[in-house]
Amino acid sequence: MKQPPAAETGTGSQDGTGAGTAAPTAVENAAGTAARPAAAGPAAEGAGGAAAGSVIVTRGLTKRFRGGQPAVDGLDLTVPAGSVFGFLGPNGSGKTTTIRMLMGLIRPTSGSARVLGAPMPGAARRVLPQVGALIEGPALYGFLSGRDNLRRLDAADPDADPRTRDARIAAALERVGLAAAGSKKARAYSLGMKQRLGLAAALLRPRRLLVLDEPTNGLDPQGMREIRALVREVADGGTTVFLSSHLLDEIEQVCTHAAVMARGRLVVQGPVAELAAGARGRLSVTTPDTADAARVLREHGVTNLVVTGGRVTGEPPAGPPGPAGAFDPADLNAALVRDGVRVRGFGLERASLEDAFVALTGEGFDVAG
């Protein structure tokens, strides 16, 4: 409840193609690409209609608070237009500090940040009207109704047309499922309702970018589901969504792209599917002939073999599995049988983003930070 939604002053430039490309890959693999097809909305309408543009680009972005270690250290972030971009990291990894720099709320110590193609914080006055933001919870007056809170926020926006105010507020309340509760005092709202009201505030006007700092923090599972559904809906409308989270499964469920932070540094970024694929999952063979199985697997390019009891697991060769991929699990199974290995179980465990995080950092993902 500390920060109001991003300041909404000045007029916006429509140039949004940004300096970067949609190619992810900052530190590691993940040669991914562009924005999802849903980018055909406002997010795709930058100069020249370049849907492949980047909505956020940072280069060497660094923030050092007085005397301390850098909170954010040399960050190179590229957020493709039309993506739902998850900014993932344990508590204290520098997510909020990055978002505050992106929104022009604090100055970087060094490096640069461009949002919608314009430098921040310099261009904040023309960029921020196109950005809806929810940072550290919405700033609400408890004694006002949800609707009157929105009215107050809209009235503080010099670019908001007072003639369309009531209609826009009604539409925003409807969109976040608060139409029926609009007349209730905000102090009577649950945490989830407050978050939704904050989102309604961010969506009072069409936005090209929505920035959400831990939007599901403190919500119950139902509240989380509602916020995720809303995020998807906003993205389907063509708005790029940048959201921070310390929840891996949340990122997997809702995001097309992700960046992983640890101790102020970027660990990896790219399309979520490719990040998880980067970890490749593990191949698992259940057999009483573990030594022979391990040998055959090794001969077929399986690495990091681990034998536990009657099971051998290992990392399959790089590339997608299947007849057209780098290796075919069926061939591997046949090779085991051919060598007399009694295969009692054979499987490929799908990698999760958590596997990717562990593989990249060698650490567990400790959400308690």
Among 11, 14, 91, 164, binds ligand ATP (CB under 6 A): 91
Q: Which range, of 26-34, 65-73, 219-227, 324-332, touches ligand ATP by CB under 6 A? A: 65-73
Closest to ligand ATP by CB, 48 or 67: 67
The span from the CA of 205 to the CA of 354, in Å, is 36
How many C-beta atoms surround the C-beta of residue 317 within 10 A?
16
Q: How far is the CB of 154 from ligand ATP (least distance, A)?
A: 28
**Angle, CA 46 vertex, CA 44 and CA 50 arms, to 5°:** 65
Q: How far is the CB of 123 from ligand ATP (least distance, A)?
A: 23
Q: Decide: is 108 part of the binding site for ligand ATP (CB under 6 A).
A: no
Q: Decide: is 94 part of the binding site for ligand ATP (CB under 6 A).
A: yes
Size of the site for ligand ATP (CB under 6 A): 12
Closest to ligand ATP by CB, 63 or 147: 63
Q: How far is the CB of 235 from ligand ATP (least distance, A)?
A: 22
Q: Decide: is 92 part of the binding site for ligand ATP (CB under 6 A).
A: yes
Among 54, 58, 93, 269, binds ligand ATP (CB under 6 A): 93
Q: Decide: is 1 part of the binding site for ligand ATP (CB under 6 A).
A: no
Q: Decide: is 239 part of the binding site for ligand ATP (CB under 6 A).
A: no
Among 62, 96, 145, 313, binds ligand ATP (CB under 6 A): 96
Closest to ligand ATP by CB, 92 or 237: 92
The span from the CA of 45 to the CA of 28, in Å, is 30
Q: Which range, of 94-102, 151-159, 183-191, 296-304, touches ligand ATP by CB under 6 A? A: 94-102
Closest to ligand ATP by CB, 37 or 60: 60
Q: How far is the CB of 259 from ligand ATP (least distance, A)?
A: 12
Q: Decide: is 89 part of the binding site for ligand ATP (CB under 6 A).
A: yes
Q: How far is the CB of 111 from ligand ATP (least distance, A)?
A: 15
Q: How far is the CB of 122 from ligand ATP (least distance, A)?
A: 21
SS3 labels along the chain: CCCCCCCCCCCCCCCCCCCCCCCCCCCCCCCCCCCCHHHHCHHHCCHHHCCCCEEEEEEEEEEECCCCCEEEEEEEEEEECCCEEEEECCCCCCHHHHHHHHCCCCCCCEEEEEECCEEECCCHHHHHHHEEEECCCCCCCCCCEHHHHHHHHHHCCCCCCHHHHHHHHHHHHHHCCCCCCCCCEHHHCCHHHHHHHHHHHHCCCCCCEEEEECCCCCCCHHHHHHHHHHHHHHHHCCCEEEEEECCHHHHHHHCCEEEEEECCEEEEEEEHHHHHHHHCCEEEEECCCHHHHHHHHHHCCCEEEEEECCEEEEECCCCCECCCCCECHHHHHHHHHHCCCCCCEEEEECCCHHHHHHHHHCCCCCCCC
Q: Give Cα separations from 223 to 60, 139, 176, 218, 254 (angstroms).
A: 36, 19, 12, 9, 14
Closest to ligand ATP by CB, 16 or 70: 70
Closest to ligand ATP by CB, 91 or 183: 91
Q: Decide: is 71 part of the binding site for ligand ATP (CB under 6 A).
A: yes
Closest to ligand ATP by CB, 4 or 264: 264
Q: Decide: is 245 part of the binding site for ligand ATP (CB under 6 A).
A: no
Q: Which range, of 85-93, 142-150, 189-197, 329-337, touches ligand ATP by CB under 6 A? A: 85-93
Q: How far is the CB of 270 from ligand ATP (least distance, A)?
A: 20
Closest to ligand ATP by CB, 147 or 246: 246
Q: Is the dihedral of CA 263, 57, 319, 325 positive or negative?
A: positive
Closest to ligand ATP by CB, 65 or 143: 65
Closest to ligand ATP by CB, 96 or 313: 96
Token pair recorded at residue 336: 């085991």
**Closest alpha carbon to 241 in 227, 253, 255, 224:** 255
Instruction: Give residues in contact with ligand ATP (CB under 6 A).
Output: 65, 68, 71, 89, 91-97, 246
